[in-house]
Amino acid sequence: MPTLVGVYDSPQHVAETVTRLRGRGFAKLEVYSPAPFDEVEEAVDPKPSKVRYFTLIGGLLGVVTGYALTIWMSLDWPIVIGGKPYAAIPAYTVIAFELTILFGGVFTLIGLLVIGRLPSVKLDPAYSARFSGDEFGIAVEVPERDVAEVDGLMRSHHAKEVGIVPA
Amino acid sequence: MPEFDRREFLKIVGASAGAAATVGCSDPVSKLIPYVVQPEEITPGIPVYYASTCLECPAACGLHVKTREGRPIKLEGNPDHPVNRGSLCARGQSAIGRTYHPDRFAKPMRRGADGKLAAIEWDEAIALLGAELAKAGGRSWVLGGTMGPTASEFLDRWVEAVGAGGRVVYEPFAPEALVGATKTLFGVETEPIFDLSGSDLILDFGSDFLETGLSPVEHARQLATARDAAEAGRRATRFVYIGPRLSMTASNADEWLAAKPGTEGLLALGLANVALRNGGGTEAGRAVLAPALARFDAASVAQQSGVPADAIERIGKALAKAKSPVALPPGAALASRRATATCGAVLLLDWALGAIGGAVQLPADDGRRRSSYRAALALIDSMKAGKVSVLLVHGANPVYSLPAAAGFAEALEQVPFVVSFASGPDETTARAQLILPDHTPLESWGDASPRPGVRSLVQPTVRPLRDTRAFVDTLLDVGRAMGGSVAARMPEGSFRTLVEQAWTASGADFKQLLSVGGVFGDARSAGISLAGDALQLEVAEPLLEGPGQFMLLAVPSPLLYDGRGADLPWLQEIGDPVTKITWASWAELSTAAAEQLGVEYGDVIEVETVAGKLELPAYPRGGIRDDVIAIAVGQGHRVGRWATRDGERRGVNVIEALPSLTDESGGRAWLVAKASARKTGGHYRFALAQHSQDQRGRRLGLATPLAALAANGHGAPAASAAAAEGGGHGDGAAHGEHGHLKDFEPAKDSDPNSLYRWGMAIDMDRCTGCSACVAACSIENNIPVVGEEEVRRGRLMSWLRIERWVGNGSLEGGAGLDPILPDEPIGPVDVRHTAMLCQQCGAAPCEPVCPVIATYHNEDGLNGMIYNRCIGTRYCANNCPYKVRRYNWYDNHIHNWPEPMPLMLNPEVTVRGQGVMEKCTFCVQRIASARQTAKDQQRPIADGEVTTACAQACPTQAITFGNLKDESSTVVRKSDDPVRGFRSLHELNTRPAVTYLAKITRGPVEG
Amino acid sequence: MSPIQLRRRIVEAAIAASLAGGLVFGLPSPRDVSAQAESSPAAKRAQELAWDDAAPGPKQPVPFSHALHAGQFQIDCLYCHSGTDRSAVAGVPSVETCMGCHTQFGQDLEGIQILKQYWDAQEPIPWEQIHRSPEHVQFKHNRHVAAEVPCERCHGPVGEMDKLSLTSDTIWWPWLLPSKKLEMGWCVNCHRENQASQDCLTCHY
Amino acid sequence: MTPPPPPPAESVAAMIRPTPLLADSQTNRDVMAVFMGRPGLGWLLLLGLCAAGLVTGALTWILQIYLGLGIAGYSHPIFWGVYIVTFVFWVGIAHAGTLISAILLLFRAKWRNAINRSAEAMTIFAVFTAQLFLGIHVGRIWKAYFILPYPNQRALWVNFKSPLLWDTFAISTYTLISLIFLYVGLVPDLAIARDRTTGWRKVLYGTLALGWRGTSRQWKAHTRTVLHLSGLATPLVLSVHSVVSWDFAVAIVPGWHATIFAPYFVAGAIFSGFAMVLTVMIPVRRIFGLEHIITDYHFENMTRFLLLTSVIVGYAYGIEYFIAWYSGVEAEQTSFWLRAFGPYWISAWIMIIFNGVVPHIFWFKRARTHVPTIFVVATLINIGMWFERYVIIITGLSREYNPAVWGHYTPSTAELLIVIGSFSFFSTAFLLFLKLFPVIPISEVKELEIHARSHGHGAAADESEGQRLRRMQEAH
């Protein structure tokens, strides 16, 4: 299927176009924007991002690792230090806390990479350097027969230009 | 870790078989060098002990030399020896360094035409000396220090055989005046033997018997016995110090009377007068002396001596009441030109009080050669007159230790052939034509007789490290080389043969004697009576040369003695017991005098006498008379690796400012000159081993009054330890309420399955501050010496230090960089010595902060320090409130331990490299080796079976080491003192294993 | 007579007996036993193997074969390494100890001639060290002998080795990390298995 | 309606060609000019100077490793010196970046956009510099790996009870999280740079941009990621300096052992961090002509923070003295008394005056808006904060419980050279960063721009870029 690429100046117009396109059942679309815009993201996919689950799992894993690591290592070769118990929970909480943050952060990054499908070696054929300037782009896969219709739809929603990437 | 340490020993195991050259070339760690023939008594890894004798001072303590694989690694006291009973002073401990001194002469040396010394062969050297002697005949003389009986007897015979002019014995601090006084008073030429252990009132007229006096180790033990806290209820022994300066000995007194130096005799007679008038003393004393002493009334004596009349009255009365008083005559520092009279006066006081025959024994003369300063001066005169062609100098450094005014150095110029037998370079060898290096005492045979009745053997414990020969053997060889009648008169064999013959003459078994260390008998006075002319002594104020506001006091150094210790780095680096100054000279003067001169701490002053000028920094303190400047003897050397500052003189030699004068009996007078002082404008930063002697009321060194002891100590129910540990906030009593102190049981701070919790009790009442423990610790534990500049930066490595606290201290001062100088008032003395070492805390602040578990609490309650795990964050040291951890800022052993010193390293203690922390672990290597024995015999380590190096060395047994879990152990008994027991900085809840027993303040003597 | 001396006597007797036994059964006349007996081919072979460059381990100054002495002759380790049961340090036999036997046996062997040179020069033999613990480890041989840890536990099958080398014995911790022989973890592992002390101060001070 | 004929394929190819820079967004061009432009003489000189300092410091360090720490001025009771002082100083500096990025993000303070990138970069370099000091400080750096809890042949672990291990974890976490934070923010900007460069830069940015395309899915994840990272970094930033403060507070040294240390240190860190951002950004703004992006308004807001934290820090100084007096513990009282009137009184008064008194000038609007004043005060605060750590560490250690081992410390030449080297390291890194990466977060600035444009806040023709931005930021 060919891909139609519409170039826009304003996020509102992009959002409107996307809503329309999705309404028409063109779900395989990609929006390129130079900066994040809530309305655009809302229009493309209203569900909240899944990055939060990565963060949560990372954090939980971190706290468990923190305590497990410290307690296990202290008990593996028990040595009396300063008259304190082998497993000194208050002291180990610092480690657990730091690992919570560390794992949470690293998992969040992993989340970004997974969800954002990064890294990718090749850029999309529809991507243009214009979209890292201050223009927006909507790339939508349409069957051959709908090309004209979508082209019109885009232009009617203030697309500056519309191009086509053949299948 | 540096690679040259323990393993090197094994390497040199082979070297001792005479193959050093073959094994020295390869990588020291990759070869195993066995013996060619393994000596029967040596098993590699197991130490062998030999009994011997310390020859550092005339006291001649018995030694047990600990050797490993044929190398002495530590000197310990011989427990059977009557002089030291197993302990050993700092000087004795450090003496091991003489053998391993890097600058020892490797061979005989001869001064060439270019004025430089060059090595020659022994045969050549001996032939040369023989020829010179033959040429000189009666124009040859021998000058040297005291020797053992065998060597001394031989030397006399040798002098006669070679037809030499004679022999002079020269010992700088010899008690010539005392012997002279004994002879005058009682007709016996002998050194009195003092025993303080049974006395209830000890009067020290400045003998400084705890530091350099007659027999310091022995007297320290006796003093501790006399004042034993356990006996305090029954016998409240008091110790009064009479002298111009609060010396280390004085710091241990109960009362200090700052008598004008040289008036001790007057004071002694004044006190005798009061005592006899008040019904004290013996019948005979009262009958003979009372009338003669009438003119020494308290008022006039007070006027002359500067001691208040009421104090004289009070102490006189106390003497009258005392059951067993004893007075000790002044030592070298106070030997004026009337020293014989002064000593006589003190002995007279002893006689009047009935101490002669009791606490003071005057055994019959053993006829040995004594030091004579007069004879030395006569020899100098004949040298100057060109009447001496050959001078043999042995066992002494007269160029250094004789006053410049005596002109010895100039006299030497007149002697064409000067021979020295020193084993290492000194000021005298620098002027010698021929050097025939002697063995060190650890390499040599010999003997000593510190006093009648006691004879002590010296035996070699190591093959000579250098190509040296025993002095006596050299003389034998020279005699034989001279041929003819001289050779015929030389005895058969070697020095060893002579010693063996002398000792087995009575049929004794030599091996048996060697294993014991000597013959330890007793000698008591026999039929002593006062000579008729005894009262003719001219007891009067001292005669001092020259003008000046001050009297110059040349004090024998507690550590360097007469300067012979100056090239032993440990002695330089242990702080002076009073001022805590290391590696330098200083002039002590009173705070008032300093103020008058406009001088502050460290300001350089110029001290001028008729004989010379000295420039040195001032140390103003409370504990000295306003009209006295005191300078320690021992520094100011021109030769020596450690004795000098890179070849420049280190400090000043006070002897250079003293006129050369004798007392009435020909002994050397030290208190001879007046001095003036002025500020020069220079300043010197002392390298201190202790910053401040003011404890600011903190719980570091506590004291408790005798009354508290009497009330609680015996029979009374034990007060809780916590309550007893209060105080320290101003009133000086170890009493008070401190609710926040958490009580704890140190015994519980170890693994429940362990049989041990190692702990220590340190009795501050016994500790004299002598620092023997510090030296012992350093040598046992391979602790490096770092030098003056590093000490100045506080980088001293000693694991153990003696903190000297003057009273409870105050909250004044501390804002500057200089230490807070203590105010040491005349009258009741309150100086406390705290041996500070790792407290092996149960809740150690150092442990939790170490990120790598390099320090931890072991199952036996020790605070372990694992050097090889340490990465050097130094956090532990920050967090140690006692500040007993030491850090290796450099690779100290490489920088500061030149070859062959690494040979004396204890192979059982890891040598710490650059960047690691180190500290005391209660000599864990000793515990480990005791554990070996105990495990082999399948029993626990018994009480007393293992002790730390510090506890072992302590002359007063102030330190008790043991197992706190063993209810019956001595350490538990001592630690459980409800009145005196306290723990340093207990309010920090560190749960230390060391219990300090508070110093007892006995207060002034009651009349 | 001390136990050690006794043991020496027994060993000496045993060696003499075994050699004599071999001779009685067919070889040259008994008179040659003590002085000039020709050594067995096994002994010669052992010497060759002890200097076999292909075998692991450093070349020693003397081609001494442990396999021959400890293996074939069954000489007790403590006979030569005396003191190991009393001292922390393992005793390396003195040249005199070697000569104690070899004034009698093996005169024709190259190794013994080298040994004799050392003896005549009164010089120690500079053996290459194979088992070395670092300076900061206070290893106590006697403790391990007393605990009946066989020498082979650390030194490997010495009785089978002509040329001595550090044999490998690697333990794997549960976290899949190897500890090689004479590394700390290897020591600790054995201490744990045998409930020996795990106190740091046992070995480090 | 008949659909228009589909455009020919060629035209699409033409359409998605890279936009010529001339037609590019103004922000892109402005920011890229900073790091794409040829290095100026000033930059080169500065870099040379810093590199020289860096080399000197590094050589001194090598010498110190070879000879031993003895060449530093340490003495017996003062086991920590200028190295730890400077370590804490840099950790403090490192706090501004994350604070500006994370906390201000959470508070939706949009004015942070102009400065957060440089602040984050500063954080990274400051943390690296701080970590260098841990290595410089330890006595046996060749054994420093002992501190890591990794499985090893010794069967040994580490002591998690030690504040130094907490430090290790906190600082490593902080480094990693800050790096992630910086990097995640950088990715869209790297994509911009990738699209507009050629040669090695294109390879560099292309690699680092990970193929970022700015799809809505990516942006959505990106926004959430930044938000979550902020959520994590905010407690982290508070924890890191708390942990550093516990290095001291957990110890029993008088002058260290105080419960107030954690908040006190955190406030101090923010204080010094903001001061450092100002010290660095004022010259950078001037040199690169970024006045329209980093406006006086930003500086004024930051001075407000300085004022607030100065008051907190000043309060902490006061309360320390009060507690020392109130505790009745003589050692504590002596320590604090000698802090102000003992051998180190100069350091103590520098600390009190520069940190507690001077910033009060910012009560005045005129001072807050006068850039030279801000620069001077910020620099003084940097000095003051370095001395704060000096005072705490040195005076605490020099007068402890046992007067027998009181001591003195003077930094040695070697120490000073290494400290100078550390500043050079930081500056070198920052200078290189300026020339390699967008120092202003382009996407974030553009987000505001486009918002403004499309929501009808269209720019008046005569309005400058800076004024426009400022207005937009204020509107938020």
Q: What is the pLDDT of residues D196-241, one digit of tens each?
A: 888 899 999 999 999 999 998 899 999 999 999 999 999 998 999 9
Q: What is the Cα–Cα distance from B5 to B911, expressed in whole angstroms?
A: 7
> pLDDT at position B374, please?
93
Long-range contacts of D242-248 (CB under 8 A, 24+ apart): D242/D266, D243/A94, D243/A98, D243/D163, D243/D166, D243/D167, D243/D170, D244/D88, D244/D91, D244/D167, D244/D170, D246/A94, D246/D163, D246/D166, D247/B875, D247/D163, D247/D164, D247/D167, D248/D392, D248/D393, D248/D396
pLDDT for residue D456: 54
- D188 in a structural domain: yes
Neighbours of chain C (3+ CB pairs under 8 A): B, D
Is A68 part of the contact surface with chain B (CB cutoff 8 Å)?
A: no
CB B986 within 8 A of CB B699: yes
Return the partners of chain D (3 or more C-beta pairs < 8 Å): A, B, C
Measured between CA atoms, how close is A116 to chain B, in angstroms?
40
- Mean pLDDT of all residues belonging to chain B: 89
Q: Give the pLDDT score at B22.
A: 28
CA pseudo-torsion sign B661, B663, B669, B675? negative
Is D169 in Cβ contact with A36 (below 8 Å)?
no
Query: What are the chain D neighbours of C180 within 8 Å (beta carbons)?
Result: 153
Best CA proximity match to B832, nearest among D406, D400, D404: D404
Provide the 3-class DSSP secondary structure of residue C85: coil
The alpha carbon of B191 is separated from its chain's Cα centroid by a whole number of angstroms, namely 20
d(CA D207, CA D227): 25
Q: Which domains does chain B have, with CATH numbers?
A: 1-44 (no CATH), 109-173+370-520 (3.40.50.740), 176-361 (3.40.228.10), 550-688 (2.40.40.20), 703-806+829-1001 (3.30.70.20)
Give the pLDDT confidence score for residue D473 in this predicted structure: 53
Q: How many CB atoms lie within 10 A of CB C21?
A: 9
Instruction: Give the CA distances from residue C190 to residues A165, C27, C179, D79, D155, in Å, rounded to whole numbers and listed in that order.
Output: 71, 48, 11, 38, 12
Q: Which long-range contacts (CB under 8 A, 24 or more apart) does B113-121 make?
A: B117/B435
Name the residue ranges covered by the structural domains of chain A.
Answer: 3-47+118-165, 51-115
Pairing type for strands B581-582 and B550-555 reads: unpaired
Alpha-carbon span D344 to A59, nearest angstrom: 45
Chain D residue with minimal CA distance to A44? D216
Contacting residues of B for D407, CB less than 8 Å apart = 691, 794
Q: Do residue B853 and residue A84 have CB atoms under 8 angstroms apart?
A: no
CA dist D406 and D399 (Å) reads: 5
| Min Cα–Cα distance to chain D from A107, Å | 10
Query: What is the three-class DSSP state of C53?
Result: coil
Secondary structure of residue B391 in the 3-state scheme: strand
Which tokens in the block code for residue B986? 């207990």
Task: Residue B211: name the closest of B59, B28, B16 by CA.
Answer: B59
Q: A28 touching B, CB under 8 A?
A: no
Q: What is the mean pLDDT of chain D?
A: 87
* Chain B residues with CB-CB distance to D66 below 8 A: none
Whole-number Å distance between alpha carbons of D422 and D86: 9
Give per-residue burial for D140-171: e unless 16+ CB within 10 Å, then b. bbebbebbebeebbbbbbbbbbbbbbbbbbbb
Predicted confidence (pLDDT) at residue C24 exceeds the cutoff of 90: no
Q: Which of C91, C92, C96 sits opposite B37 (nearest CB)?
A: C96
Calpha distance B214→B328 (Å, rounded): 10
Residues of C in contact with B7 (CB under 8 A): 135
For residues D120 and D304, the answer to whether their CB atoms sit within 8 Å is no
Q: How sure is the predictor about B737, in pLDDT bands with cuts at 50, 70 and 90?
A: very low
Measure the CA–CA gap between D21 and A132, rounded to whole angstroms.
11
Q: Would you call A91 an interface residue with chain B, using a CB distance cutoff of 8 Å?
A: yes
Q: Can you give the CATH number for the domain in which D336 is found?
A: 1.20.1630.10
- Element of type H or E holding A5: strand A3-8
3-state secondary structure of B316: helix
Interface residue B697 vs chain D (CB under 8 A): yes
**Neighbors of chain A by Cβ distance (3+ pairs < 8 Å):** B, D
CA nearest D232: which of A114, A90, A97, A49? Answer: A97
Residue from B804, B832, B871 whose CB has the most chain D CBs within 10 Å, to mutate = B871
Nearest-angstrom CA–CA distance, B346 and B266 = 9
CA distance C73 to chain B (A): 23
Cβ–Cβ under 8 Å, residues A128 and A165:
no
Mutate: best of B846, B847, B875, partner A, most A CBs <10 A: B847
Report d(CA B364, CA B372) in Å as an integer: 19
pLDDT score of B366 = 72
Is there a domain that residue D351 lies in?
yes
Residue D335 maps to a domain: yes
Phi, psi for D381 (deg, rounded to 5)? -65, -40
Is A83 near chain B, with CB under 8 Å? Answer: yes
Q: Express as a percent the part of chain C with pLDDT over 90.
A: 35
Cβ contact A105–D180 (<8 Å): yes
Closest-CA distance, A88 to chain D, in angstroms, reads: 7
Task: Please tell me the distance from the alpha carbon of residue D438 to that of residue B90, in angstroms, as a whole number.
Answer: 70
Residues in chain B with CB shorter than 8 Å from the CB of A79 are 853, 856-857
Shortest Cα–Cα distance, B902 to chain D (Å): 20
Cα nearest neighbour of B891 on chain D: D68
Asked whether residue B5 carries a pLDDT value surpassing 80, the answer given is no
Residues of B (422-461) whose Cβ lies below 8 Å from D = none
**CA–CA distances in Å: residue B414 to residues A125, B145, B379, B387, B577:** 110, 22, 12, 9, 41
Of D78, D168, D338, the CB nearest to B815: D338
pTM: 0.90
Which of A36, A41, A99 lies at the smallest CB-CB distance from D169? A99
| Poorest-pLDDT segment among B15-24, B375-384, B516-525, D261-270 | B15-24
D51-68 pLDDT tens trace: 999 999 999 999 999 999
pLDDT at residue B780 is higher than 80:
yes
Q: What percent of chain B has pLDDT over 70?
A: 93
Question: Tell me, what DSSP letter sits at residue B68?
Answer: E
pLDDT of B25 above 50: no
User: To probe the interface with B, which of A81, A86, A92, A95 has the most B CB atoms within 10 Å?
Assistant: A81
Give the number of domains in chain D: 1
Q: Is A134 helix (H, G, I), strand (E, B) or coil?
A: coil
How far apart are alpha carbons B270 and B266 in whole angstroms? 6
Query: What distance in Å separates the CA atoms of residue D466 and residue D297, rounded to the nearest whole number?
Result: 10
Establish how many alpha carbons lie within 13 A of residue B349's alpha carbon, considering only the half-sphere containing its beta carbon: 34
Contacts of C186 in chain D (CB under 8 A): 153
The H or E element spanning position B140 is: strand B140-144
What is the C-alpha separation between B353 and B280, in angstroms, rounded?
7
Which residues does D97 contact at the CB level (< 8 Å), separation at least 6? D116, D119, D120, D121, D122, D123, D124, D126, D178, D182, D273, D277
DSSP 8-state symbol, A23: H
Give which of D133, D127, D208, D137 is closest to D173, Cα–Cα. D127
3-state secondary structure of B475: helix
Judge whether D136 lies within some domain. Answer: yes
Q: How far is A11 from chain D (nearest CA, A)?
A: 7
Kindly state whether D155 is in contact with chain C, defined as any CB-CB distance less than 8 angstroms. yes
How close does chain A come to D443, measured CA to CA in Å? Answer: 5
Amino acid at B468: T
Reported as a single tens digit per residue, the pLDDT across C39-98 is: 788 888 888 899 988 989 899 999 999 999 999 889 999 999 988 988 888 888 889 888
Name the residue with higher pLDDT: B770 or D290.
Answer: B770
Tell me the two tokens of residue B787.
């030098």
pLDDT, residue D37, reads 79
Q: In chain B, what residues touch C205 (CB-CB under 8 Å)? A: 864, 908-910, 921, 924-925, 928
| Rounded Cα–Cα distance for residues C162 and C63 (Å) | 9
- Whether B690 and B579 have beta carbons less than 8 Å apart is answered as no
- With pLDDT > 70 as the criterion, what percentage of chain D qualifies? 90
* Two tokens, residue B386: 């060109």
- Interface check B914 vs D, CB under 8 A: yes
Predicted confidence band at B285 (pLDDT cuts at 50, 70, 90)? confident
Which residues of chain D lie closer than 8 angstroms to B836, CB-CB? 402, 404
A-chain residue closest to B865, CA distance: A81
- Residues near C13 by Cβ (< 8 Å), separated by ≥ 6? none
For chain B, what percentages of helix, strand and coil (3-state, to nearest 5) are there? 30, 20, 50
Of A154-158, B229-233, B960-964, D207-211, least confident by mean pLDDT is B229-233
Taking an 8 Å cut-off on Cβ atoms, the answer to whether D156 and C173 are in contact is: no
DSSP string, B351-382: HHTT-BTTTEE-PPP-------HHHHHHHHHH
Residue of D nearest to A167 (CA): D9
Nearest chain A CA: its distance from B992 CA (Å): 11
Candidate from A32, A51, A102 with C-beta closest to D228: A51
Testing the interface with C: which of D146, D150, D153 to mutate, by most C Cβ within 10 A? D153
Q: State whether residue B755 sits within 8 Å of chain C by CB.
A: no
- Cβ burial, residue B940 (10 Å; 0-12/13-18/19+): middle
Query: Average pLDDT in the D446-459 region?
Result: 68
Q: Any CB–CB contact under 8 A between B711 and chain C? A: no
Residue A40 touches partner D, C-beta closer than 8 Å: yes
Is D69 part of a structural domain of the chain?
yes
All residues of chain B having their beta carbon less than 8 Å from the beta carbon of residue D251 are 845, 849, 875, 878-879
Contacts of D159 in chain C (CB under 8 A): none
Model confidence at B18, pLDDT cuts 50, 70, 90, reads: very low
Which two structure tokens, joined as six digits, stand for B304? 């002359």
* Percentages of chain C per state (helix, strand, coil), in multiples of 5: 45, 5, 50
Structure-model confidence comparison of residues C172 and B722, the more confident one: C172
pLDDT, residue A120, reads 87
In chain D, residues with a C-beta closer than 8 Å to the C-beta of A73 are: 149, 157-158, 160
Instruction: Give the separation between CA D216 and CA D234, rounded to whole angstroms.
Output: 27
| Residue C157 touches chain B, beta carbons under 8 Å | no
CA distance C45 to chain B (A): 25
Select from D79, D162, D165 the Cβ nearest to the Cβ of B877.
Answer: D79
Q: Indicate whether B845 pLDDT > 60.
A: yes
The backbone torsions φ and ψ at residue D309, rounded to the nearest 5 degrees and listed phi first, read -70, -30
Domain boundaries in chain C?
3-121, 141-203
Q: How confident is the model at residue B31 (pLDDT cuts 50, 70, 90)?
A: confident
Give CA–CA dist D61/D417, Å, rounded: 9
- ipTM over 0.85 threshold: yes
Tell me: domain A3-47+118-165, CATH 3.30.70, correct? yes
